A = this chain, B = another copy of it.
């Protein structure tokens, strides 16, 4: 591993929570990548982050995209800006890593995927769970046939807390949170396509914000064309910490991933047995954020498609959007005709 002159210069758009985490990883932990420029509308925030790693900063993401030192673009901006920034990076002929969701609408995403395809550039999407060791091992077991044909599946996300209910846009639980679980379930049922979705959701954590569109608790059932039924569930407020798990039950067995443990410590006393739970996503899944950028660098270097691509982004987004429709109609939603792939992805 070398971080030197010959490393690919990365431009990072967004210096928020996840952008800050990405900056450290890009600056220090990925073979062949180096942090060159940071863009954030808040000059002081972006500047401070850039300086920490000896990078430059700008308030203009489009200037970053065309900066000659920027050879690859990492997008960690607001979700509603994602697809436009993908288009801009593709226009500049630069490989792109985009945080999930790659877009909030299918037409915008299709436009972005078309731009990427036309430019022939790499697009990777931030489904980091695929790079978490336990999930990867579960996937490999499924892919190797260890559980036979998937029949009953499960993926869940429980976040430790809902900081600001007022600031949560409608459908966030599907578009931002469960989109991870949708990608996980699609990935863990290789070769199968979802044909129907049923979703139910509520504001149980912050009921006062339900009228404003907040949904903080949701359950989704996906029916696949191989007959498998998958359940995805999410909550924005887990008292015990961050909890991400998956389960695939099939004709030959079952595989599970995720245990929510922070450490291996177990205490037994007069009150029974006690252990520690992980309090945040970095505590639980930190290495997966490094591994996804190792993959990004490797895919660029090899000129190949990354492990998570635009098609994956589209399939998960389509499920998220169908969930919103199912909640609105309180009925299962068929996916057959709802998922035309307009782009060239």
Q: Does A28 sit at the interface, judged by CB under 8 A?
A: yes
Q: Which of B2, B198, B269 contacts A52 (CB 8 A)?
A: B2
Q: Which of A146-202 contact B (CB under 8 A)?
A: 146-149, 151-152, 158, 196, 198, 200, 202
Residues of B within 8 A of A45 (CB): none
Q: Give the contact stretch, choosing among A98-106, A228-236, A302-310.
A: A228-236
A253 to B275, CA, bound (A): 13
Does the CB pair A251–B239 fall under 8 Å?
A: yes
Residues of B within 8 A of A204 (CB): 149, 151, 227-228, 251
Answer whether A274 and B277 are a contact pair too, CB < 8 Å, given A221-B198, A231-B231, A263-B134.
Answer: no
Answer whether A239 and B148 are a contact pair too, CB < 8 Å, given A28-B28, A28-B29.
Answer: yes
Q: Which of B2, B52, B270 contacts A252 (CB 8 A)?
A: B270
A271-294 vs B, Cβ < 8 Å mask (1 yes, 0 no): 111111100000000000000000
Nearest B residue to A4 via CB reads: B54
Q: Does A339 sit at the interface, judged by CB under 8 A?
A: no
Answer whether A217 and B273 are a contact pair too, CB < 8 Å, given A146-B267, A205-B251, A263-B134.
Answer: no
Does the CB pair B146–A269 fall under 8 Å?
A: yes
Does the CB pair B217–A151 fall under 8 Å?
A: yes
Does the CB pair B4–A270 fall under 8 Å?
A: no
Answer whether A272 and B270 are a contact pair too, CB < 8 Å, given A231-B231, A330-B332.
Answer: no
Residues of B within 8 A of A143 (CB): none
Does the CB pair A1–B229 fall under 8 Å?
A: no
Q: Which of B158, B227, B235, B257 contacts A264 (CB 8 A)?
A: B257
Does the CB pair A264–B141 fall under 8 Å?
A: no
Oligomeric state, in copies: 4
Q: Does A92 sit at the interface, judged by CB under 8 A?
A: no
A228 to B201, CA, bound (A): 10
A235-263 vs B, Cβ < 8 Å mask (1 yes, 0 no): 10111110100000101111111111111
Does the CB pair A133–B261 fall under 8 Å?
A: no
A2 to B49, CA, bound (A): 10
Nearest B residue to A30 via CB reads: B28
Q: Does A335 sit at the interface, judged by CB under 8 A?
A: no
Least Cβ–Cβ distance between A27 and chain B, in angstroms: 8
Q: Which of A91-149 contact B (CB under 8 A)?
A: 133-138, 141, 146-149
Answer whether A276 and B275 are a contact pair too, CB < 8 Å, given A217-B227, A255-B267.
Answer: no
Q: Does A211 sit at the interface, judged by CB under 8 A?
A: no
Does the CB pair B229–A253 fall under 8 Å?
A: no
Q: Can you list 5 A-B pairs with a CB-CB distance of less than 8 A?
A: A134-B264, A137-B276, A219-B221, A272-B277, A273-B275
Among all A-B residue pairs, the 6 with the closest Cβ atoms: A253-B269, A134-B264, A137-B265, A240-B268, A273-B275, A134-B263
